Structures are given as C-alpha cells and as structure tokens.
Structure 1
C-alpha cells in the first residue's frame, strides 16, 4: 500500500465524490465521522514519533519561528494580494478568509511526512499554531472586513479540535509507546497500528469528500469563482515556503515541512465556524468545503513535487571545510 499510496488516495477521493453524489442523504452522518477517523489517523502519526524527539523539537527556535512567519506574516500578505480580486459577495470573501488565514494542524503532518518533511517538528509546532490562529483570526478579519464580522470567531470549535485531534491521540500514542518499550505485546500492538496509516488516510479522504460533495450542488457558481484563488494560493505558497525555509537556513526535511504548513489550511476546524453563520452568510461554508477538495488534490501533487523543490542538499567540493594550515 505504501508504494501505491498516491493512487489509493486519488481512488478514495473519487469514491467519496461518487458516494456523495449517489447518496447525498448520508452526508450529515458521514460528517460526524470526520473527527473520529481523523483522530485515529493522527494517533498513528503520533505513534511514529518518539515522545523524547517531540520534546527536543520544542527547543528548535529556528523552525518554530519559520512556521510562525510563513503562516502569520507571509500567508496574510498573499491573501491581501488576492483579496481585491475576490468575488464581491461578502459571504464568499468571509469563507475564503476563514479558511486561508488558519494553518492546518491535522493531516498536514501526514502529507508532509510522505514528502520527507520533518513530522516531529510539525508536531511540536502544532499547539503553537493552533493557539496563534485562535488569537489572530479576529484581528485579521477586522483588518480585511471590518468590526461587524470579526466577532463571529469563537474559541469553542478550536478548543474542541485541539482536544479531539491533538491531545487525546497524542496521549494515547505516548501511552502505547511506553507499553511497547516495556512489553513485547505492546510492541506488537504498536507495529500493527502503524500499518494502518494508508487505510486511515484513504478513509479520511473518502469521508471528507463524501460528506461535503452534497453541499456543493446549490452553489456551483460560487465554487467556480473561488477555485482559481485556491489553486493560485497553493502555487504561490510552494515557492514562498521555500523562500522562508532558505531565510531561516533550514535543512531539507524541515524546509519541506515549512512548505506544507504554509500551504495547508485548517478547513476541518473552521468549517463549524462557517456552518454556524447566519443564513445570509451560509455560502461561506460551501466556500470552505471547496478549499478542502482543492487542497487534498493539491497535497497529492505536493507529495511528488516538494521533494524536487527542496532536494536533499549535496555538499559541493568548493563548500567543503578548508584544511587547517600546518
């Protein structure tokens, strides 16, 4: 499965789209399954990163600084450059802002790892990124759209996502790591769990797509209007992330992780915010869902292209350390 995982993920998305079109009434039930399956996926991801390595990563000031810069300086500037060209509909603009201004804290870790990015550094940065977006999103909305809409952001969905998608899976992963270190049975369970990575990723993609496709039927014009902006964002952030990684002089795995954290957005966490909006702003939820679909396709492409964009550095002869004078 690992050798054919990209094909498996594309097939899962296609199956999800077909299921969502053929059985739209299943959408609400499937939506409730998103967090559990995503939490299981992150549990397996966390399981592969030893707790000691994660603690050491918290001391990596350069990477954490690069992650904050790419997400809360570079991304808002990119969004600001796009903002004037967005459709004039206020709900559409709000949906775009909600999703693009919040960095992903869940499956970015999986996709980054597939491309050779540093999972342990992204894991260490996750709490910081989640707290920062909770604090900064109201201010960003105020700057872009004024005070009337800045007050819609609530901490509840962010705190719920942090508990379900980060705290619980991480605690369970560390508990299993401790068991595996002491007992052969624990090691066998750990080994078995790590083999479920690809099926869980495929299940996540299938459920997300199937649950959201039915919502696109009545808003095709709005969807068509924002898709080019989401594609442009992915293209721009690939090179912007690389520039930030070079600025902070990060090695290839850390640099790839920076590209992924700058490009992936927190659509699954901000979707409850969009769904809770008044009826006159309901289109914002569809705009958020559309970003999810575009991003998943983009991430499959990123897995192939980012290692070429940031290859492993090979020391050139003229870069070898000089021999000391005798």
Structure 2
C-alpha cells in the first residue's frame, strides 16, 4: 500500500500544497502548529535520507569521487552553477522585474543559495543520484556560509536597499546562530541517520527498515510541504501587489534555472541519475537557512524575511513539476539504465 502511494510523489506533493493552502486560508488557528512541526519534519527527512544512503560513498566522499570519475562532472557543474551562474541569473531577473529596495534584496537572498537538505528528498523522488547528492551537502553548505556575509555586504548597494544595515563578516562567521542552524538542520540528523544505519546492519530487519524509510521519504516531504503552506499562505494576502511581484520574479528565476540545468546536463552528457540531481540542486533553494540567518542579522527588517517565506510557496510547486518532468524522462529510458539512490 505504501509503495503504491509513493510511486506517484507528484500527486502526493500537489495534494499537500492544496491541503496546506486550504488549512492556512480557512483555519488560521492551524498556523502555529504547522510552524512548530516544520523544523522537526525537516530533521526527520534528512535523517531518513542519510539512513538509506550507502555508507561507503558517504563516509569517504573524496576518495569515492576520485575512484569514480563519473561523479566529478556533476559535482563541479553543481558548484559552478549554484555559486557562479545562479547569482548572475538572479542579478538579471531581479533587476528587470523588481524595484530597488528591501523587496529586491529579499528575493536576491532567496535565489542565491542552494538547498542542503530537502533537495535530496526530491532527488530521491525523481530516481536521481542521492549518493553524490550526499557529497554535495557539505560542499554547498560550506560555500554558502562563507559567501553569505560577503553578499550581505554588497547586496544593499546592489539592490538599492541602502537603508538595510549589514553585519560584519567576522560576526556572522562566529555567530551561534550559524552554528546552531547548521547543527540542527544537517549535522545532527546526518549523524543520526548514519548511526542508525550502522546499528541496524546486523539486524534481521535492516533491509525492511531501510526500504520502509526509503518509501516514507515522499510522505515526510509532503508533510513538510503541507506545513509550510499552512504556516505561510496568509503572507500572500497581506500585500497582494508585492506578493504578485515576488511570485512572478521567483517563477521567472526557476524557469531560467531549470533550462540552465537541463542544458548543462545535456552538454555534459550526464546519465539520468546525475542529470536529475543537477537539475534539482539548481532548482531547490535554501530558504530555511536564509530565513534563520536573515532573521538573526537583519531583525529590524522583517519584510526581507517575509519575502523568503513567500518564495518557498513558489518553490514547492516548481519542484513538484520538475520531479514530474524528470520521472517522465526516466520512464522513457531503456530498462537497462540504472538509477542510483
């Protein structure tokens, strides 16, 4: 029964979007509960994914990449796209669509950095390569934490939001907010997932536990989507004109990022699992980390943080669509093509 439900993750995700939107709009009292559940569900998702990953690639990612040169192109392509090409696209799109000010700054921060947790859930749903995706997590996390204060220093001038004060890089690098956020969203659940996998290796039910956890990934992801929509859909109704501008800008950004990912994957001749990973990692953005950091370092400008929350409401329908398109491509491939999870 469970496997039949998770065979169609796109329908599951779209149902979560519809249910969450309806609950947030019609029953606003559910918003606090949804907000409280979101973070624990993200932790559960990351734990599940690391529990089901193959340990050798995860425990020795550098050696594995050297032994398997096929994973090197997708890793390099993902880093170059997420930290070079995507910022260029972001500058172009936000400058063309949004007026200078905090609104543009918020969309800029939202689009800049790649997701380091739930993108693996969508990669898994699209039959992409989650083993190489696990390697991308520490690389992309380190890069964005190092680059966040750099961007925060230049973005107010670049976006015209000169009234937004910034914090020095040294303060951000050494802040407890950064450390606690990274530990909560990535380090602790990753260690928990790996630890559970090691402990369960000798159990007779180890295979069943891994398969069940793997099947439950789309369910957990759908629960996160529902909670995010329940908790944030009301923000769409506060300033409809600004919301519409944000939605249009983020939509254009996602279309451009998707086309870039597809084009790069084809140019490099990546096999389907790596192509799926590349397309999804360039589509998923790291809104939770950006919300945490922006709330901590720009507390006097909640409108910038609100923009990040609105951006997430476009991201999930987009990721559902991308997952559906990739799965269609996967089904059209010869049966001999293997998919690495």
- Provide Cα deviations, 1:196-222, integer angstroms capped at 9, x if missing partner: 223212211111111112333322221
Q: Kindly tell me: are residues 51 and 189 of structure 1, through their superposed partners in 2, closer, same or farther at Cα, counting changes over 3 Å?
A: same
Distance, in Å, in 2 between the alignment partners of 1:152 and 1:205 is: 34
Matches within 5 A, 1:1-326: 1-55=5-59, 57-58=61-62, 59=65, 60-146=71-157, 149-151=165-167, 154-155=172-173, 156-276=176-296, 277-279=298-300, 281-307=301-327
- Compute the displacement of 1:125 (Å): 0.8
CA RMSD of aligned residues (A): 2.5
Question: Structure 2: how far apart are the matches of 1:171 and 1:55?
Answer: 11
Deviation of the 1:69 alpha carbon: 0.1
> Displacement of 1:93 after TM fit?
1.1
Sort the Cα spacing of 1:224 and 1:67 in 2 relative to 1 into closer, same or farther, 3 A. same
Unaligned stretches of 5+ residues in structure 2: 66-70, 335-341
Measure, in 1, the Cα distance between the counterparts of 2:278 and 2:205. 37
**Separation in 2 of the partners of 1:300 and 1:149?**
36
Structure 1 residues 152 and 208: alpha-carbon distance in aligned structure 2, compared to 1, 3 A threshold: farther
Runs ≥4 in structure 1, deviation > 6 angstroms? 309-314
**Which ranges in structure 1 are unaligned for 5 or more consecutive residues?**
315-326
Distance, in Å, in 1 between the alignment partners of 2:262 and 2:215 is 31
1:261-284: per-residue Cα shift (whole Å, max 9, x none)?
1111001221123444344x3222
**Partners of 2:34 and 2:118 in 1: how far apart?**
18
1:133-175 per-residue CA deviation (whole Å, 9 max, x = no partner) reads 1111232343443386452884544433321222222222222
Bigger Rg over Cα: 1
How far 1:30 sits from its partner (Å)? 2.5
Q: CA deviation at 1:302?
A: 0.1
Change (3 A) 1:305 1:122: same
**TM-score of the superposed pair, with normalisation by structure 1:** 0.86
Bigger mean CA offset, 148-157 vs 224-233: 148-157
Any idea what SS the aligned residue of 1:269 has?
A: helix
CA distance in 2: counterparts of 1:151 and 1:311, whole angstroms: 49
Secondary structure at the counterpart of residue 298 of structure 1: helix
Residue 85 (structure 1) shift = 1.9
Q: Secondary structure at the match of 1:182?
A: coil
Aligned equivalents of 1:311 and 1:232: distance in 2?
Answer: 28
Partner of residue 322, structure 1: none
Instruction: Tell me if the contact between 2:262 and 2:275 (Cα under 8 Å) persists in the aligned partners.
Output: yes
Provide the rounded CA distance (Å) in 1 between the counterparts of 2:234 and 2:45.
24
Q: What TM-score do you get using the length of structure 2 for normalisation? A: 0.83
Q: CA deviation at 1:239?
A: 1.8
- Count of residue pairs brought into register by the alignment: 313
SS in 2 for 1:33: helix
